[in-house]
Structure 1
Amino acid sequence: MNAGIQFQHLKIQLEDLTLATNNFNDATNCIGGGGFGKVYKGQLVSHSKGRSMAAIKRLDPRHGQGIPEFLKEITTLSRYTHDNLISLLGFCYQGDENEMILVYEHASRGSLDRHLNSPHLTWSQRLKICLDAAKGLSYLHDPRETHQRLIHCDVKSANILLDDQWNAKVSDFGLSIMAPANEQQSIIVTAAAGTPGYCDPQYAITHTLTKESDVYSLGVVLIEVLCGTLCFTHSINGDTEKNFVRTWIESYKQKKLNDIIFKNETIQPLDQISLEKFSNIAYLCLEESRKDRPKMAEVVAQLETALDNQEFSEWINLRIDYEEMAKTVESPLNYSFKDEVRKLLLNGVLLKGGKTWFSLNKNGERCEMISFAECLDPEFASEAKSEFNSRFTVAPHHYKNGMVKTRVKAQFLSPGITYTVNLVFKFTLPRKDRKCHDRIALKYKLQGEKHSSISYLAYEREDGWWMCELYQFTSDRRTIDLEILFNSYTSIEAEGIEFRPLEKVNHKDENQPISDSNVNWEEKLLTDYEDVVKCFKNNVQWTTKKEAYSIIRKGFLIEDGKKKSIWFYLDKNGKKCHMLSARAAASWDLYSYKLSLPESRFGEAFQCVFRIPDMMANIQSQLVSSETTYATYLVYKLPKDQSRFEAPILVEDRGDLNSNCHCYIYLTSPQTPVIRPKANQNAHGPLNKPKFKGLPRPRNDGWMEVQIWEFKTGATTEMIPVSLALGTRGDKHLSGLIIEGLEFRPI
């Protein structure tokens, strides 16, 4: 299999997967299966996410899943990335052992077919799931003609996966087919027949599948969601016994949808306007003639309208909830229309005599913060006044040192939502007097637990308060009662403990593989490219300017002194970038030993014995662009045991004697403990955080990077000295850490 080089960064060792799945244990780790083989859950160590649960699909060649299908899945999910498509985390291929394994992000709630009759899913959530799936398929069909069209060929509720927040992601691309984006009909002759019950009836006549075939299959899924059941039943021997699609279509035509629609007394009924929009578009998807079926983009538009109307209906229904809540509101709740209600609750209101702050986020999910003074055990209550203005009627609590007991009672949460429990506070010292604004080192634990957790990281919110994340949990009811003990040496003004729905934070990957190397290349080619290359020893040769640009854009090794220790290249905007090897960036004699690593662009790296030596080097002016702000990244790999690397590392700029400001970086992403994790849920989740300069991220070349410094070049730049000290606190050591070098890229 030739996927080795192209997808090197996705390779996972078989022994890691064997360990994660308890040796592929069917009894404890198997979470599904089918004609392809079996799917297992397992915790994998990821440099970017720490320990995270993954779905591990072990293909069984005896069931017809061979290398072509295996490669197609890897290629497809590497090329097509979207919030509503399942993400590929990696793969394992060992031809000698006939092992083909695909590793995906773990959708903790499983597939949609398991939840069709769930009493916990509101109609807004059901419509949102359908909309998510349609968005993913619309992206594949590419209505904007920006990439090759992909026809899924096996759309069904079992291939629509759901995460903690009920976001839907289309999965299983083993039967998918690529077609040109500008081809009107996209008729592809294929032997793939999809799944009975969902497959386009025209396939039996024409033996072709088209993008309209995906539309038909999604239409079947929409009707399944509407009716709360699968489109077929199975006989004892497993064959399809009865298909309900024709019956459902007849019910629609005869205006008897009320006879088949899913009903449950625990959820608000589907709004009539939403029902009309939803059923109309589902019926159109199921038209016999392909030319009469809507485009996937049209399905998205109609589902958005249906969802908007249903949300409006549920917004109005909130007025009923508020009859009881309004009795304790500090100021009257004046509302008459949806927009007024939404604006009021997005801004937040005070409840329970000014001790609880209630609001809704942009997704309509409930947020609740309880005043820290209200949470305090009576023996820790304080009468001290605070200099900070709070949204509560009581002042923030001044917490300095020692143990504090709290009891936190939230009453208005949204069921079925994953929440983060956060401490909201302000530092007592002015910002200019603090060495680091985003490090708190707060020690805490739930009452009754033996082990404490430490939250090192905090960030400033839009409202001017700071927040650090303590726990995550998935709510199964509107109320929760937690007793949290704080035991730390820190000086803060604590405003409250907040329950906030977990939000997916999307970070743009600025280190994408090169795909635009020949786009506007003449504008991006350095005017002094020949002089730059001549300044250093290298073996690079070219015959045309275009070839020169392509070579420099991809990068090449140049010599600085006795050893090839610089990797020079251009970014997508034509700015100069380079990486210094670990050998050139620091003196390693006392702190490490050299490793020969073919996967390093330098052929070598250095492994730490105890600590990272000071990074001391000179940035040569020829290697950076003028009047540009650069970030400096430490490029490294972590050992399998990452337990010693969780604490932050202090970075000091030894070159600026007038600077008292230090910063902290993390070599592995901080994790948050999960309260009462579910069966398929990891005991620690990724921290819910915005983008920080000091947090690590994976690179496409298989290494990790974290920003440790930045600088700006002038119109004429002299040699720039780098002098950075990276140190740990206490007895923490960094043995096993592998350093490739320092990279300098424009921000």
Structure 2
Amino acid sequence: MDAFMQTFLQPFQHLKIQLEEITSATNKFDEKNYIGGGGFGKVYKGVVSHSEGRSMVAIKRLDPTHGQGAPEFLKEITMLSRYRHQNLTSLLGFCFQGNEMILVYEHASRGSLDRHLKSPHLTWSQRIKICRDAAKGLNYLHDPRDTHQRLIHCDVKSANILLDDQWNAKVSDFGLAIMGPANEQQSVIVTMAVGTPGYCDPQYAMTHTLTKESDVYSFGVVLFEVLCGVLCCTYSKGRVQKKLVPTWTKSYEQNKINDIIFKNEAIQPLDQSALEIFSDIAYRCLKNSREERPKMDEVVKELESALESQELLESQEFSEWKEQLFYYEELSKRAEPPLHYRSKVELRKLLSKGVLVNGGRTWFSLNKKGEHCEMISFTECLDSVRSELEDDPWQFQFNSRFPVGTYHYMGETVKTRVKTQFLSPGITYTVNLVFKFRYPNKGRKCHYLISLGYKLQGETKTLMSYLGCEREDGWWTCELYQFTSDHSTIDLEIIFEGFYGTYHLMEVEGIEFRPLEKVEHKNEMLGMQPMLDANWEEKLPTNYEHMMKWSKKSLQWTTKKEAYSIICKGFLINDGQEWFCLDNNGKKCYMILATMACKRVLYEYYHALSLPESRFGVALECAAWSLNIVCKIRSQLLSPETAYASYLVYKLPQVKSLLEAPMLVKGEEYLGSDYNWYIYLVSPQTPVIRPEAGQKTHNPLDRPKIKGVPRERNDGWMEVLIWEFQTPCITTKTIDMHLQLTSCGNKNFSRLIIQGVEFRPI
């Protein structure tokens, strides 16, 4: 058996942890480190080094006398190595020495869900979110998209749903799990596996088969446990005394669900709409017929809807929104068609999705803060429509919100007049043109060059909106102006002069007034290295001594803490042409000198500068029409299986106006034929209508993070994202990077100073 086990475990040697380290971490499995147990044995906590670093972990010590042994041990390793998801417990390592079979998992600091069913510290939003997260994990295992083999968990219960310090849920314990083909509509697996009393699919007793629908049934039991705040069974002398599932389903069928739900004065009550959605999906999961039970992807969607309703009820914005309830109720009567709703929360949700008012010419909606959003149909804005054209300029095939459809804009000069009615006073708004491309290009990424000229009536200076930005709803926008509203109406006359450069065809839906989403950015210490924290030892790589030998200079340290501090600050490697350090999470960061990253250049347009403020002591000054970044990245200098972002680190010249136009970033074919997108080296400015004293333009750095917009680093340099990639699991490979940056303004880079390209984990 040992020989078979060793052969079976050979592909997983990177997960192997020595027994000596585990016994040391648990103080020889001292009861002070005991955190739980079950049919498999006991679970302890301790700090160990593992496949992803060093951290506090959960150590499951299998006890064969309790019924789980080598088959379950091997199954957990196989399953959790193959199935990785944010809502599944991650396997970090294992130990198989002597008679010991030990599994090492990420540590769930708050334990299992069953311990918190009656907790007064969990709000209903948190409870529903826990269920939603667990449903996502099970949905991934059931694989509705046929990307991997389907996995049936076979032991879904609240004790197998673990919670981290942020109350994120992770499905655990795959000892009884069974694989099945992903492409079968009904994946019936004949098995003698037994789950936990109270959670088992009733069909199992009759057919001795378990299916993915069996997991759905068990999860329905968990949903009712969360709803009612109690376990599904009562026990006496270690045996099941009473099963509560029949009582729960009967209460639902008799419309008495409010009689059994968990109640506690310390938490805000469950919203009626959320209760209806949550209890309905829980009841459907418990249907006797497997065919009538919902799929896990439907369960996820319903729980997300319930969560949205409950979060809205608990939000401060909803309390403020109720003060204007009469206004919104009157508005709902004028909607087309009029709105029908069962609760205040449901009305709020309908308005958040948006409604047509003003005879179908205005789209009104509320954002998450309860601020008014308004879009005026382009037909309402135009003084006249092109009458000389035979073709109707209004189109109906682009799923416009407005009955009139979209306006087929060919780049001619168009005068518009925009009058609002529903703006929130005291809110800063952005004025956007909303459109779609008539002939969409699959290669377009989130930004596309349009170079649209426009100006306010009476002004002589033409302004330029360079890029169209794609939104989540599939529509594109370009920002025109910003202003702070002092009342609900504003009257603007805007002249669109057409496209400067490439000819475009747009289908314009309307002109939108959307509240500016200002956020307070955290200080990410861009360009500076992290400070030591209390968990520094967990983040110190096991091979740190080898890393420090990479340094250009001989590094001296006496303690591990000093060594970690040195690596965090960073040091030069490879004859001073590269820089290496660790980030706040202990992940590897790497920077390559510009002269190395830009090898394929015409040197009459580039030359090296001696620059003391550069990490490398030198930088690259360029004045070419394009910049080629060509280099091979050694993956051993990056953390494996990690998403990385690449940043161009640079300084702007004194004359910045030559760099105001965006840059096209074009990748080689191996990056994907559609890897073409746009960045800015100078932050774009948006003109402000009727600015306050000293206020002329708006800098988008005050907004939520936007890819392709530069940021100033703490070390005085600028940086902009130019590429994202995933590192392989094998650190011996190299990663090829070949990008070309070209100015879209027919101007060169005008003495741009480049320090290098930096790679940081996302």
User: TM-score with structure 2 length normalisation?
Assistant: 0.53
The 1:687–1:429 alpha-carbon spacing in structure 2 relative to 1, beyond 3 Å, is farther
How much has 1:737 moved relative to structure 2?
Answer: 1.7
AA partner of residue 374 (structure 1): E
1:597-656 deviations in Å (ceiling 9; x for gaps): 222211222222344531222212331222222211100111243212221111122373
The equivalent of 1:729 in structure 2 is 744
1:670 to 668, 679, 684: 684
Q: How does 1:696-707 map to 2 (within 5 A)?
A: 696-707=710-721
The 1:584–1:330 alpha-carbon spacing in structure 2 relative to 1, beyond 3 Å, is same
AA partner of residue 391 (structure 1): R
For the residue of structure 1 that corresponds to 2:442, the secondary structure is helix
Alpha-carbon separation, structure 2, partners of 1:688 and 1:391: 30
Count of aligned pairs between the two proteins: 438
The equivalent of 1:596 in structure 2 is 610
The equivalent of 1:493 in structure 2 is 507
1:530 to 540, 545, 558: 545
The equivalent of 2:425 in structure 1 is 415
Alpha-carbon separation, structure 2, partners of 1:327 and 1:713: 55
How much has 1:416 moved relative to structure 2?
Answer: 2.7
For the residue of structure 1 that corresponds to 2:474, the secondary structure is coil
Contact 2:465 2:479 in 1 (8 A): yes
The equivalent of 2:348 in structure 1 is 342
1:470 to 467, 477, 480: 480
Alpha-carbon separation, structure 2, partners of 1:422 and 1:309: 27
Alpha-carbon separation, structure 2, partners of 1:630 and 1:714: 11
The reply on whether 1:742 has 2:757 as its aligned counterpart is yes
How much has 1:710 moved relative to structure 2?
Answer: 2.2
How much has 1:358 moved relative to structure 2?
Answer: 1.5
How much has 1:736 moved relative to structure 2?
Answer: 3.0
Contact 1:575 1:625 in 2 (8 A): yes
For the residue of structure 1 that corresponds to 2:757, the secondary structure is strand
AA partner of residue 327 (structure 2): L
The equivalent of 2:584 in structure 1 is 572
The reply on whether 1:559 has 2:574 as its aligned counterpart is yes
The 1:469–1:687 alpha-carbon spacing in structure 2 relative to 1, beyond 3 Å, is farther
The equivalent of 2:384 in structure 1 is 378
AA partner of residue 737 (structure 1): L
Contact 1:428 1:492 in 2 (8 A): yes
The 1:618–1:515 alpha-carbon spacing in structure 2 relative to 1, beyond 3 Å, is closer
How much has 1:675 moved relative to structure 2?
Answer: 1.4
AA partner of residue 415 (structure 1): P
Q: How does 1:208-223 map to 2 (within 5 A)?
A: none
For the residue of structure 2 that corresponds to 1:432, the secondary structure is coil
Alpha-carbon separation, structure 1, partners of 2:725 and 2:333: 56
For the residue of structure 1 that corresponds to 2:380, the secondary structure is helix
The equivalent of 1:540 in structure 2 is 555
1:357-412 deviations in Å (ceiling 9; x for gaps): 11233333322111112222323374443321121111111223332222212122
AA partner of residue 741 (structure 1): G
Alpha-carbon separation, structure 2, partners of 1:691 and 1:659: 26
Contact 1:441 1:490 in 2 (8 A): no
Alpha-carbon separation, structure 2, partners of 1:469 and 1:483: 15
The equivalent of 1:634 in structure 2 is 648
How much has 1:338 moved relative to structure 2?
Answer: 4.3
Alpha-carbon separation, structure 2, partners of 1:366 and 1:680: 27
The reply on whether 1:583 has 2:598 as its aligned counterpart is no
AA partner of residue 682 (structure 1): K
Alpha-carbon separation, structure 2, partners of 1:316 and 1:406: 33
The 1:718–1:536 alpha-carbon spacing in structure 2 relative to 1, beyond 3 Å, is farther
How much has 1:733 moved relative to structure 2?
Answer: 2.0
User: TM-score with structure 1 length normalisation?
Assistant: 0.54
For the residue of structure 2 that corresponds to 1:723, the secondary structure is strand
Contact 2:518 2:704 in 1 (8 A): no
Q: How does 1:95-134 map to 2 (within 5 A)?
A: none
The 1:315–1:745 alpha-carbon spacing in structure 2 relative to 1, beyond 3 Å, is same
AA partner of residue 621 (structure 2): Q
For the residue of structure 1 that corresponds to 2:578, the secondary structure is strand
How much has 1:532 moved relative to structure 2?
Answer: 3.3
AA partner of residue 736 (structure 1): R
How much has 1:457 moved relative to structure 2?
Answer: 3.0
Contact 2:317 2:369 in 1 (8 A): no
AA partner of residue 559 (structure 1): N
The equivalent of 1:31 in structure 2 is none
AA partner of residue 578 (structure 1): Y
Q: How does 1:70-149 map to 2 (within 5 A)?
A: none
Q: Which runs of 5+ in 2 are unaligned?
A: 1-312
The 1:703–1:327 alpha-carbon spacing in structure 2 relative to 1, beyond 3 Å, is same
1:83-122 deviations in Å (ceiling 9; x for gaps): xxxxxxxxxxxxxxxxxxxxxxxxxxxxxxxxxxxxxxxx
The equivalent of 1:84 in structure 2 is none
The equivalent of 2:138 in structure 1 is none
Alpha-carbon separation, structure 2, partners of 1:734 and 1:441: 19
For the residue of structure 2 that corresponds to 1:548, the secondary structure is helix
Alpha-carbon separation, structure 1, partners of 2:396 and 2:457: 28
The 1:416–1:545 alpha-carbon spacing in structure 2 relative to 1, beyond 3 Å, is closer
Alpha-carbon separation, structure 2, partners of 1:478 and 1:422: 17
How much has 1:728 moved relative to structure 2?
Answer: 0.8
How much has 1:688 moved relative to structure 2?
Answer: 7.9
The 1:508–1:683 alpha-carbon spacing in structure 2 relative to 1, beyond 3 Å, is closer
Relative contact order: is structure 1 or structure 2 higher (C-alpha 8 Å, sep ≥ 6)? Answer: 1
Q: Could you tell me the percent identity over the aligned residues?
A: 58
The equivalent of 1:58 in structure 2 is none
Alpha-carbon separation, structure 2, partners of 1:315 and 1:718: 61
How much has 1:437 moved relative to structure 2?
Answer: 4.1
Alpha-carbon separation, structure 2, partners of 1:651 and 1:308: 41
Alpha-carbon separation, structure 2, partners of 1:316 and 1:730: 50
For the residue of structure 1 that corresponds to 2:412, the secondary structure is strand
AA partner of residue 761 (structure 2): P
2:407 to 387, 392, 397: 397
